[in-house]
Structure 1
Amino acid sequence: MKLLYEGTITNQVLHKKLPFYMKRLYLEDLPVIEQVQAKVIDSISEKNSLQALTTEEFLFILNERGLLIGAFVEAELIGFRALLIPEIDDEHLGWDIGLSPEELQKVIYQEISVVLPEYRGNRLQQKLAEVIMKELSTLKEEFRYICCTVAPMNIPSLKDKFTQSMYIASLKEKYAGLNRYILVKDIEKPEVHYTSHITVKLDDLEKQRQLLDDGYVGIGFQLVHGFHELQFAKPFL
């Protein structure tokens, strides 16, 4: 078993620091992967904020169409993160961010990222992101664009993506009519400079769409009178 990371993590229920490690997940791990996903979905009040993966999607990833990295305390899976190599179809996120047909094959998706409730507050999602992005180079294909979808108002997930230097490139209806931000990171352009900064209320989706249409992108949060607002800006070319 190749360990990708070792450290300590706090169990928030037991108030106890425990050793943990990360490793790649495989087909034989599917039952426990789905058990952890079900526990996490059961623990959140807003079910639509997390787009769960189906058994077929997990199988697709585990059959060499992506990566799954898991975090373990002893033998217990406490969280995982997924990358998926998408099929090129009408729902491909590359279309939503204006990529050309030739560029679609350079896109990989950051898919679901979950952590059991008792281990939240340890920045485990970010640690999983760091490890899985390092493992990206082990795949046969080469990728340029990391894409994902996030539900509006899902502040923890947006913070996670902004921490990885991803930005909101589009706001579309996905998954049978649900509003979703499409975020992207161009690996070949890791540092982007911005101008014309403006903040928008989290629930003002109409204004956000207008800014995105005008060439702005969403780059982070800003506290305004004690409340989070989304920060938009124009990439400086």
Structure 2
Amino acid sequence: MKFLYEGTVTNQALRKTESMYMKRLFLEDLPIIEQVQKEVIESLPEKAALQPLSTEEFLFILNERGLLIGAFVEDQLIGFRALLIPEIDDEHLGLDLGLPEEELPNVIYQEISVVLPEYRGNRLQQKLAEVIMKELPNLEQQFRYVCCTVAPMNIPSLKDKFLQQMHIGALKEKYNGMDRYILVKDLEHPTIRYENHITVKLDDLEKQRQLLDHGYVGIGFQLVKGFHEIEFVKPVL
């Protein structure tokens, strides 16, 4: 089998360097996918920070409605990342971002990304992102926009998205009333020109909403007096 990536990772529990490879996941991998998701959620101090996928959602992706890439040490799945081709409905993230209806079929979601606790600190989420985005053009359908949701205060996940040049385009209530950033990357125009830098405290969601409503987007973090603040800018059209 041809692997999509080969390298090494450090098992933090054993303090040992191990060989690692990445490959596409299929229907027969569903039991180990769900087991890894369960272990990761159980390890989180704040369970609401991660929105897990249901069995039905995993089946939807694995049945040609997206892409799942897994990282393995020997035969053990240690992390995975998912892309989902969404149904077009009232909850579509493209609508949250103000995209015109004719653009909605051009949107794909970056879904859940998890790594087992003992393998964190290897930048595996970032490497999985690089690999899965390289595989995106191999899907039958072509996409222009990559979207996802992230919980406010989830700094590691936000850093991951900012490193991919995604930006915060909206802050909405999703998943039965939970606040979520809606992030997006336009693959046709991956970099944006901007002006008017403003930084806002992570927990000042009201100020962030005001800026987003006035056409600002969030592009990264700045350290202000030793604390992370989100950097908002106004795109130059």
Determine helix, strand or coil for the equivalent of 2:169. strand
TM-score (norm 1): 0.99
Map residues 1-237 of structure 1 onto 2, 5 A cutoff: 1-237=1-237
Determine helix, strand or coil for the equivalent of 1:3. coil
Question: Could you tell me how far apart the structure 2 residues matched to 1:182 and 1:127 are?
Answer: 22
Deviation at 1:194, TM superposition (A): 1.4
Question: Could you tell me how far apart the structure 2 residues matched to 1:214 and 1:73 are?
Answer: 47
Q: What letter matches 2:35 in structure 1?
A: Q
Deviation at 1:190, TM superposition (A): 1.4
Question: Could you tell me how far apart the structure 2 residues matched to 1:167 and 1:14 are?
Answer: 36
Q: What letter matches 1:62 in structure 2?
A: L
Determine helix, strand or coil for the equivalent of 1:14. coil
| CA deviations over 1:11-61 (Å, ceiling 9, x no partner) | 111111111000000000000000000000000011111000000000000
Identity %: 77
Question: Could you tell me how far apart the structure 1 residues matched to 2:109 and 2:202 are?
Answer: 24
| CA deviations over 1:107-131 (Å, ceiling 9, x no partner) | 0000000000000000000000000
Q: What letter matches 1:92 in structure 2?
A: H
Question: Could you tell me how far apart the structure 2 residues matched to 1:44 and 1:191 are?
Answer: 33
Q: What letter matches 1:50 in structure 2?
A: L
Determine helix, strand or coil for the equivalent of 1:200. strand
4+ residue runs of structure 1 moved beyond 4 angstroms? Answer: none
Determine helix, strand or coil for the equivalent of 1:198. strand
Question: Could you tell me how far apart the structure 2 residues matched to 1:127 and 1:192 are?
Answer: 23
Number of matched residues? Answer: 237
Deviation at 1:147, TM superposition (A): 0.1
Determine helix, strand or coil for the equivalent of 2:190. coil
Question: Could you tell me how far apart the structure 2 residues matched to 1:194 and 1:219 are?
Answer: 10
Question: Could you tell me how far apart the structure 1 residues matched to 2:177 and 2:219 are?
Answer: 24
Q: What letter matches 1:205 in structure 2?
A: L
CA RMSD, aligned part only?
0.5
| CA deviations over 1:76-114 (Å, ceiling 9, x no partner) | 000000000000000000000011110000000000000
- Structure 2: which 5+ residue stretches go unaligned? none
- Structure 1: which 5+ residue stretches go unaligned? none
Deviation at 1:2, TM superposition (A): 2.3
Determine helix, strand or coil for the equivalent of 2:4. strand
Q: What letter matches 1:9 in structure 2?
A: V
